[in-house]
Amino acid sequence: MKTFRLQLRFLLPLALVLVAAAYLSLPLVDQLTQRWFSRDLDIRGRLIANALADPLTQALAEGASPRVQALLERTVRDERLLALGLCAPDGRLLQASSAFPSELGCRAAAPAGSELSALHRTDGGPVHLRTQPLVIGGSHSADLVLVHDFSFVEHRSQDTRRYLLYLIVAMGASMALITMIVAQLSWRGWVAGARALLRGEGLVRPLAAPAPELAPLAAELRSRLRRLEDEYRRARGPEGPWDAPRLRQLLGTELSGQEVIVVSNREPYIHEHGAGGLEVKRPASGLVTAVEPVMRACAGTWVAHGSGSGDRDAVDSGDRVRVPPESGDYTLRRIWLTEEEERGYYYGFANEGLWPLCHVAHVRPVFRQSDWDSYRAVNQRFADAVAAEARSEDPIVLVQDYHFALLPAMLRERLPAATIITFWHIPWPNPEFFGICPWAPELLRGMLGSTILGFHTRHHCRNFMETVDRQLEARIEPEHDTIFHEGKETLIENYPISIDWPSEQAAAAWPPVPVCRDRVREHFGLGPDALIAVGVDRFDYTKGILERLYAVERMLEKHPELRGRFSLVQIAAPTRSALDEYRAFQRRISDLAERINARFGGPGHAPVHLVAEHHDHAALLELYRAADACVVTSLHDGMNLVSKEFVATRDDEQGVLVLSRFAGAAREMTEALIVNPYHVEETADALHRAITMPPQEQRERMASLRSTVHEFNVFRWAGRMLGDAARVRLRERIAQRVEGMSHG
């Protein structure tokens, strides 16, 4: 009905145009036919007159009127020629064929001696007159008048008019029909196109280019949606506190019933065969620290490499185990890798290639073809496993870190409707530096399979966009933080990671600070007035442990009064020890620590306590709470969670954080003593200032740091990411509903 009314709008003007055309064209056609036939009759008349001229003039000259009469009668046997007459120059009718209309006479003809045609209406109908002068003996002596029947012209004109009318009506009908069909088809196409737009095709993720006539509408819709999203993101500013219940609420409302799958290399729980049978351990990893609370809140599935010696004994027949062991909140699905795969994908491409590439820590990245092949194959295996674990077509998949740069695009192929959020936990270097990777474009293409791509800082987001700009044919829209590549849109956003801020009950159960100090002093054999600095890291060259030791050495050179009183307790969890670079680095650190201890230590006192061991949560807590200063001197760090953990444990508001300006955390934690770890003198001075800082200044700085980390906690990190994912999904759902309504 709607389309019929729309079509009427086309048809009425069409009908009006056709009526006007008929009204104007019919008299014109009449005139034209009359003119054409008169001209025909003129030519015919002249021919007949010329043929008669000689015998007539001769018969007239001889005065033979019966011959004249016979000539006239014989000529009018032609079916169109009605009559012939001869007029004298004075206008008298001299002689005429028998059918000559009496009412005409010679008056109706042209003036004597002139050649002319005219139309006349007689009692018998319309006639055409033609006058032809006859010359006898050199002078004009009579006029021959030819009378042609003209009624047949009128009949033909009527016929022509009728046929023309039929033609106009037929043309009008066919034009109307064609218009209706075309209108119907294009309306359907248009509606389908608009629906596709609302679904987001050609708009949010232009899979196929929209129809050209829809392009302006698509552009308008796209820019409006974007503006709304931008406004939303900007308006987000300071928001209420985030905690586990709020994250659960988000998962229970905006993402209610949605499936969440995490994929990472490192598993959150490792089963090892120990003296007491199968033991469960938590690895030293910032990633696990951050993602675990999210998984507890949403009870999803975590897909990870099963690396523990007892991992296979802990899983069921589907390689799954419920974790944490005490509550079984979510499922851990383990993937098994061969030694060769681990060597190529993990140690090789990820840790000898991408890790130094992204950290710019002056360790040369190594790129081997075999490592790359292995990296690709393992990414594919994980992508297949995630697709197999998915119970829905559109799960939310959280891809973690640089081990899986290719996985997002691979997964997108398997689950096109999935919302893929990739978080890159390490820094992103500048485009020149990233360009040295032989497979830079492939890595970027893989990452751009994500719906959302997250980094810790805006600086890393910018570096990534510039790298894509150099390496790929992609449309980058910095004002919206998006990249369009191969018809897909990826939001590039910064989500600073953090820790799970300890609850009041948890904090109430902590041993008091003096107790912690006593225990640590006792454990390391330190004196009662000892000044304690702590360092807690994975034993990695990017953490600046070497630079930290140089700073300790320099401080003790400059401040001899601290010798015998100051100690750095450096906890370093062994990591990637299978790599030469790491083993050499760890040896160098041990040698340096020994040298410093030899230089400034004494009987029963060592300025550096290097403990290359993994510590449990309680041991770390004790250490953080016992410290006068915590030293974080990363040469480059995506964020660094140790700095935040230290602050979180200091509810006594004492203790000073010395923090590298090259750690992402330095952007938020501005009340720390910020240092350039490459600058030994500056770092040594900052360390000295930290351990001698008056308690009041410590309190002011620590209180401010605590309120920052409390607010910017890990639930905010996850909540913002999942909130963005929920918005993308909501947008797609609205489009589907609009489509449903227009069907109805």
Residues that bind ligand ADQ (CB under 6 A): 284-287, 289-290, 425-426, 497, 536-538, 571, 573, 614-615, 620, 637-642, 645
425 or 480, CB closer to ligand ADQ?
425
* Smallest separation (angstroms) from ligand ADQ to the CB of 650: 15
DSSP class of 51: H
- Neighbouring CB atoms inside 10 A of 345's CB total 27
* Smallest separation (angstroms) from ligand ADQ to the CB of 571: 4
Residue with tokens 């066919």: 174
259 or 267, CB closer to ligand ADQ?
267
* Smallest separation (angstroms) from ligand ADQ to the CB of 573: 3
Distance CA 199, CA 221 (A): 11
358 or 415, CB closer to ligand ADQ?
358
146 or 714, CB closer to ligand ADQ?
714
Q: Is the peptide bond before 324 cis (omega within 30 degrees of 0)?
A: yes
Q: Name residues whose C-beta falls within 8 Å of residue 470's C-beta, 6 or more positions apart in sequence.
A: 431, 435
Distance CA 77, CA 96 (A): 14
Q: Is 593 helix (H, G, I), strand (E, B) or coil?
A: helix
Residue among 565, 626, 633 nearest 600 (CA): 565
* Smallest separation (angstroms) from ligand ADQ to the CB of 709: 13
Distance CA 717, CA 495 (A): 6
* Smallest separation (angstroms) from ligand ADQ to the CB of 446: 20
453 and 424 Cβ atoms separated by less than 8 Å: yes
* Smallest separation (angstroms) from ligand ADQ to the CB of 278: 21
100 or 624, CB closer to ligand ADQ?
624
Residue nearest to ligand ADQ as judged by C-beta position: 286
* Smallest separation (angstroms) from ligand ADQ to the CB of 575: 8
* Smallest separation (angstroms) from ligand ADQ to the CB of 683: 18
Report in angstroms the alpha-carbon separations of 283 from 242, 307, 308, 634.
25, 11, 10, 20
389 or 645, CB closer to ligand ADQ?
645
Residue among 719, 723, 717, 724 nearest 457 (CA): 717
Distance CA 214, CA 33 (A): 51
206 or 544, CB closer to ligand ADQ?
544
Distance CA 591, CA 329 (A): 45
The token pair that represents 60 in the structure block = 């007239």
Distance CA 658, CA 637 (A): 14
* Smallest separation (angstroms) from ligand ADQ to the CB of 613: 6
What type of residue sits at position 688?
H
- DSSP string of 226-288, one letter each residue: HHHHHHHHHHT-S-PPP-HHHHHHHHHTTTTT--EEEEESS-S-EEEEETTEEEEE----HHH
408 and 431 Cβ atoms separated by less than 8 Å: no
199 or 644, CB closer to ligand ADQ?
644
* Smallest separation (angstroms) from ligand ADQ to the CB of 737: 37
Distance CA 490, CA 448 (A): 6
Q: Which residues pair with 656 in a beta bridge?
A: 629
Helix, strand, coil in percent for the chain, rounding step 5: 50, 20, 30
* Smallest separation (angstroms) from ligand ADQ to the CB of 242: 17
* Smallest separation (angstroms) from ligand ADQ to the CB of 667: 12
* Smallest separation (angstroms) from ligand ADQ to the CB of 658: 15
Torsion of CA 463, 465, 471, 473, to 10 degrees: -170
625 and 592 Cβ atoms separated by less than 8 Å: no
349 or 455, CB closer to ligand ADQ?
455
193 or 454, CB closer to ligand ADQ?
454
The token pair that represents 690 in the structure block = 């930290």
Phi, psi of 532 (to 5 degrees): -115, 125
408 or 454, CB closer to ligand ADQ?
454
133 or 664, CB closer to ligand ADQ?
664
DSSP class of 77: T
357 or 497, CB closer to ligand ADQ?
497
* Smallest separation (angstroms) from ligand ADQ to the CB of 413: 27
Report in angstroms the alpha-carbon separations of 520 from 15, 140, 148, 612, 652.
99, 151, 137, 16, 17
582 or 600, CB closer to ligand ADQ?
582
Report the DSSP pairing between strands 139-149 and 81-87. Answer: antiparallel
The token pair that represents 330 in the structure block = 């979510």
Report in angstroms the alpha-carbon separations of 252 from 244, 257, 421, 451.
12, 7, 19, 21
Residue among 253, 248, 337 nearest 300 (CA): 248
* Smallest separation (angstroms) from ligand ADQ to the CB of 657: 13
* Smallest separation (angstroms) from ligand ADQ to the CB of 663: 7
286 or 607, CB closer to ligand ADQ?
286
Distance CA 20, CA 538 (A): 90
448 or 534, CB closer to ligand ADQ?
534
Q: Which residues pair with 261 in a beta bridge?
A: 301, 397
Q: Name residues whose C-beta falls within 8 Å of residue 606's C-beta, 6 or more positions apart in sequence.
A: 567, 597
274 or 527, CB closer to ligand ADQ?
274
Q: What is the CA radius of gyration of the chain?
A: 50
* Smallest separation (angstroms) from ligand ADQ to the CB of 627: 14
Report the DSSP pairing between strands 531-538 and 629-632. Answer: parallel
Cα of 673 vs its chain's centroid, Å: 41
